[in-house]
């Protein structure tokens, strides 16, 4: 429900002074219900993803790598605390990150010892490509390695377990990334150049080899509302889609949201700006595979690999997942659109 609706309720209340007590009671009850369910009155939460910042309408949970995925591997490794999948999330910056806040220091140490043992044992492998070397690291809570084809590290920062693997940069650059990784609390927006990941910040003013960071948030007051934002650096050899083509491609199957999607309006494609750049927005009703219905609001902005400054593809997707509402009233299509519009307007280069 938007603020204009709340204002109209307030004005109506001023005109009910002579109403019967029963009517007043029912009206007061309805207002209390509105205030308890709307996202508009909640305190906003500032966040950053990749090299961008955005404002969420209220406090949110972020999907992270599960403890099981971090230690042993798991299908759909990025999830929320109750197990809800964050299928679109991806933490790629000059390599791939796994980030978990569900490992204790002791559990992380067990994982670290396993990695160290395998690294040392690989020296006996007859195939040189199967051997791993230990890279020099002074931090007792970190370990770095390299092979002929890849390099990576493990580290534990203020309760956050991190692993990184890359085939894109040198072992020395891997060590440089490790040296510049720091833990980041929710809602903390760094002021220095660098890249934001969930719970982490990598300080850097250098050009990125790869940046494909997509983060999924879930509103705590409305657990049925998922917010996904992606910062994707475009490369010159990649196929190029216009903002509208990308929007259509996602709705027609790239995200696999359900059985069918019906866009709202006779002219469903609307001009929307992200970070001052012209993009395309659309609102849709989603029919899930079990025939239940939900809503989604999607904004896509085309990047420019030939621009003098870094100009990435940007994507914002706000989705209602009513099955995950945890007993609360799911939001409406209008509210999903309103949330999406507010977040889109807030997105700026950090």
**Res. 43: pLDDT tops 50:** yes
- Whether the CB-CB separation of 330 and 212 falls below 8 Å is answered with no
CA atoms of 153 and 327, how far apart (whole Å):
41
pLDDT(2) > 60: no
> Could you identify the residue written with the tokens 């509302």?
225
Find the helix or strand (DSSP H, E) in which 136 lies: none
pLDDT at 15: 41
Q: What is the mean pLDDT of the chain?
A: 89
Residue 8 pLDDT: 34
- 88-144 tens-digit pLDDT: 999 999 999 999 999 999 999 999 999 999 999 999 999 999 999 999 999 999 999
Residue 32 has pLDDT above 70, yes or no: no
Q: Where in the chain is the domain with CATH 3.40.1000.10?
A: 39-349
Q: Are 181 and 157 in contact (CB under 8 A)?
A: yes
How confident is residue 271, by pLDDT bands cut at 50, 70 and 90? very high
Give the separation between CA 86 and CA 214, rounded to whole angstroms. 10
**pLDDT at residue 239 in the model:** 77
Question: Going by DSSP bridges, is the β-strand pair 277-287/200-203 parallel, antiparallel, or unpaired?
Answer: unpaired
Confidence grade of residue 1 (pLDDT, cut at 50, 70, 90):
very low
**pLDDT of 145 higher than 80:** yes
25: pLDDT strictly greater than 80: no
Q: Is 27 a residue whose pLDDT tops 80? A: no
pLDDT of residue 256: 87
Mean pLDDT, rounded, for 296-307: 95
pLDDT of residue 19: 42
The number of beta carbons lying within 10 Å of the beta carbon of residue 19 is: 13
140-175: buried (b, 16+ CB within 10 Å) or exposed (e) per residue?
Answer: eebbbbbbeebbbbbbbbeebbbbbebebbebebbb
pLDDT score at 84? 95
Give the pLDDT score at 237.
Answer: 81
Q: Which residues contact 116 (CB under 8 A, 6 or more apart)?
A: 134, 143
Q: Tell me the whole-structure pTM to 2 decimals.
A: 0.87
Q: Which fold has domain 39-349?
A: Protein Transport Mog1p; Chain A (3.40.1000)
Pairwise CA distance, residues 134 & 122, whole Å: 11
The CA–CA distances, whole Å, from 7 to 13, 14, 260 equal 10, 11, 36
Query: Within 10 A of 126 (CB to CB), how many other CB atoms are there?
Result: 6
Packed helices 21-37 and 3-14: angle between N→C axes, nearest 10 degrees: 160
Least confident of 34-48, 150-164, 306-320: 34-48
User: Which pLDDT value is given to residue 254?
Assistant: 87
Of residues 308 and 345, which shows the higher confidence score? 345
Per-residue pLDDT, 224: 97
Q: Is residue 14's pLDDT more than 90? A: no
Instruction: State residue 290 phi and psi, 5-degree precision.
Output: -95, 10
Question: What's the average model confidence in pLDDT over 203-213?
Answer: 94
pLDDT tens figures, 161-184: 999 999 999 999 999 999 999 999
Residue count (the chain): 350
């Amino acid at each position: 429900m938007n603020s204009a609706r709340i204002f109209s309720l307030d004005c109506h209340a001023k005109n009910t002074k002579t109403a019967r007590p029963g009517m007043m009671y029912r009206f007061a009850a309805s207002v209390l219900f509105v205030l308890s369910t709307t996202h508009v009155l909640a305190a906003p939460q500032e966040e950053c993803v990749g090299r961008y910042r955005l404002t969420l309408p209220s406090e949110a949970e972020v999907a992270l790598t599960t403890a099981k995925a971090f230690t042993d591997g798991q299908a759909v490794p990025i999830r929320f605390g109750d197990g809800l999948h964050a299928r679109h999330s991806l933490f790629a910056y000059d390599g791939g990150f796994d980030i978990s806040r569900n490992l204790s220091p002791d559990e992380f140490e067990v994982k670290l010892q396993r990695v160290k043992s395998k690294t040392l044992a690989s020296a006996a492998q007859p195939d040189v490509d199967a051997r791993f070397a230990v890279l020099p690291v002074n931090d007792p809570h970190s370990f770095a390695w390299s092979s002929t084809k890849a390099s990576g590290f493990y580290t534990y920062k203020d309760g956050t377990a991190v692993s990184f693997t890359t085939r894109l940069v040198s072992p020395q650059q891997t060590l440089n990334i490790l040296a510049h990784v720091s833990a980041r609390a929710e809602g903390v927006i760094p002021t220095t150049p660098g890249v934001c990941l969930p719970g982490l910040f990598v300080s850097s003013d250098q050009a990125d080899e790869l940046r494909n960071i997509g983060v999924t948030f879930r509103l705590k007051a409305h657990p049925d509302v998922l917010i996904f934002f992606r910062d994707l650096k475009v490369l010159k050899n990649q196929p190029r889609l216009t903002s509208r083509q990308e929007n259509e491609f996602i709705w027609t199957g790239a995200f696999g949201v359900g059985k069918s999607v019906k866009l709202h309006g006779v002219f469903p494609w609307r001009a929307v700006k992200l970070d001052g750049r012209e993009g395309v927005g659309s609102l849709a009703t989603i029919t899930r595979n079990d025939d239940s219905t939900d809503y989604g609001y999607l904004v896509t902005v085309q990047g420019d690999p030939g621009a003098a400054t870094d100009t990435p593809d940007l994507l914002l997707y706000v989705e209602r997942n009513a099955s995950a509402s945890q007993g609360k009233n799911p939001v409406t299509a209008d509210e999903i659109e309103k949330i999406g519009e507010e977040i889109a307007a807030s997105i700026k280069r950090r």
